[in-house]
């Protein structure tokens, strides 16, 4: 009797992954194809295929097209995809851990903390021995981890029960404070730091393959840790006491999720600047479409978050071409109304 139900469930999840993967593939092809120079999608496929499979050929394609795809647009699209995926899965994990759809790296202050670490590294030309170029993401990650623990400690001091709303409000307070600190540094330091303003608004422009190597190891580590904890996040989403009765080591798992989410956020901010609302919007929409099971919500958030930021970057560089908007402006224009809708929805649910 259970076989039809199991088959239907698997088929539904198969459809979910198929749709999410198709969305990502379409976003990648559009992101590479569209620009000041339009490159036909079939040429894009052949150019990339020729660098991956020996049976593909790109000899008949213009050299200019090949250079644009492989050296400019493909690394930009891949970087945008990795950043979007990192922020989306971190946001999904934070929301599950704190049992609140308003939680994400941006509202918890993690992104702002990572920005402070990255800006200090860039401005003072810091370089940790043996890390060299990886000093930037490492410093960003350390500051993001430090920030989330400061937020939690302050929230506990304000209210011992540490209600989720208190944690989020504390995160917003620290995010505003750290943002003001960065603005003050920019205002007082002069032209050198003012150039970082555009970076702080969020961008993946002209980053190249070097920045992909900076984020990729941290993305792999952070994502694997969170994916492994999908079952535990399901348990903790019903409350810590119930999770404890189900055999979950709540404190250890909570620490693991917070650190993994901070690693993903810090690495993303290090290579692209502060990009808000991706970790809020994507997990929320993914949950509405395909359910709250974190065993599937986390990987689906990776796929949809990646495709979303690729399309947001495409919109940022084409909407008023040849001028480029910071990608953070586009995500904020989309995310702020969604944030307001979630707030109104939660208020209406409480009043019922």
Any bridge partners for residue 320, and if so which?
323
Q: In the prediction, which pLDDT does 190 show?
A: 64
The yes-or-no verdict on residue 50 having pLDDT over 60 is yes
pLDDT band at 1 (very low <50, low <70, confident <90, very high): very low
Lowest mean pLDDT among 72-81, 191-200, 203-212: 191-200
Domains and CATH numbers, the chain: 3-26+74-351 (1.10.3470.10)
Higher-pLDDT residue of 46 and 322 is 46
Mean pLDDT across 207-223: 94
- What does the angle CA 221 – CA 222 – CA 226 come to, to the nearest 5 degrees? 120
Provide, for the chain, the percentages of residues in helix, strand and coil under a 3-state DSSP scheme, each rounded to the nearest 5. Answer: 80, 0, 20
- Name the H helices within 201-277: 208-228, 230-236, 240-245, 250-272
What's the rounded Cα separation, in Å, for the pair 44 and 32? Answer: 7
- The phi and psi torsions of 109 (rounded to 5 degrees) equal 85, 0
Give the number of C-alpha atoms closer than 13 A to the C-alpha of residue 221, restricted to the C-beta side.
Answer: 15
Q: In the prediction, which pLDDT does 307 show?
A: 97
What's the rounded Cα separation, in Å, for the pair 216 and 311? Answer: 20
Looking at residue 132, the DSSP 8-state letter turns out to be G
Mean pLDDT across 213-222: 96
CA 106 to each of CA 113, 291, 345: distance values in angstroms, whole numbers, following the listed order: 10, 23, 20
What's the rounded Cα separation, in Å, for the pair 203 and 48? Answer: 24
306, 286 contact by CB (below 8 A): no
What's the rounded Cα separation, in Å, for the pair 351 and 334? Answer: 27
Mean pLDDT across 210-214: 94
Average pLDDT of the chain, as a whole number: 87
Model confidence pLDDT, tens digit, residues 95-116: 999 888 878 888 888 999 999 9
The yes-or-no verdict on residue 350 having pLDDT over 60 is yes
What's the rounded Cα separation, in Å, for the pair 140 and 186? Answer: 18
**Tally of CB atoms within 10 A around 94:** 30
Kindly state the percentage of the chain with pLDDT values over 70: 92
Confidence (pTM) = 0.91
Q: In the prediction, which pLDDT does 272 show?
A: 92
- Bond before 82 cis per omega within 30 degrees: no
The yes-or-no verdict on residue 54 having pLDDT over 90 is no
């Amino acid at each position: 009797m259970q076989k039809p139900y199991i088959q239907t469930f698997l088929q539904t999840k198969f459809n979910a992954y198929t749709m999410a993967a198709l969305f990502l593939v379409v976003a990648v092809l559009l992101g590479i194809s569209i620009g000041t120079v339009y490159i036909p999608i079939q040429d894009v496929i052949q150019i990339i295929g020729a660098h991956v499979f020996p049976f593909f050929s790109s000899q008949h394609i213009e050299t200019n097209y090949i250079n644009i795809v492989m050296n400019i647009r493909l690394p930009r699209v891949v970087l945008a995809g990795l950043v979007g995926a990192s922020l989306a899965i971190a946001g999904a994990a934070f929301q599950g851990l704190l049992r609140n759809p308003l939680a994400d790296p941006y509202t918890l202050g993690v992104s702002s903390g990572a920005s402070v670490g990255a800006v200090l590294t860039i401005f003072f030309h810091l370089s940790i021995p043996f890390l060299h170029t990886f000093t930037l993401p490492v410093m960003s990650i350390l500051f993001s981890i430090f920030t989330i623990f400061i937020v939690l400690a302050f929230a506990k001091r304000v209210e011992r029960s540490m209600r989720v709303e208190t944690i989020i409000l504390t995160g917003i307070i620290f995010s505003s404070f750290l943002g003001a600190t960065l603005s003050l540094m920019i205002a007082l330091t002069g032209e050198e730091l003012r150039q970082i303003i555009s970076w702080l608004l969020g961008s993946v422009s002209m980053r190249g393959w070097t920045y992909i190597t900076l984020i990729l190891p941290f993305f792999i580590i952070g994502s694997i840790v969170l994916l492994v904890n999908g079952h535990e996040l399901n348990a903790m989403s019903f409350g810590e006491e119930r999770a404890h009765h189900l055999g979950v080591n709540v404190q250890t798992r909570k620490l693991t999720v917070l650190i993994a989410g901070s690693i993903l956020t810090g690495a993303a901010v290090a290579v692209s600047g502060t990009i808000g609302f991706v970790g809020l919007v994507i997990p929320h929409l993914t949950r509405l479409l395909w359910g709250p099971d974190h065993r599937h919500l986390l990987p689906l958030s990776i796929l949809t978050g990646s495709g979303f930021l690729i399309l947001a970057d495409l919109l940022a560089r084409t909407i008023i071409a040849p001028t480029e908007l910071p990608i953070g402006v586009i995500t904020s224009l989309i995310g702020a109304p969604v944030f307001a809708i979630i707030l109104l929805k939660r208020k209406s649910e409480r009043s019922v």
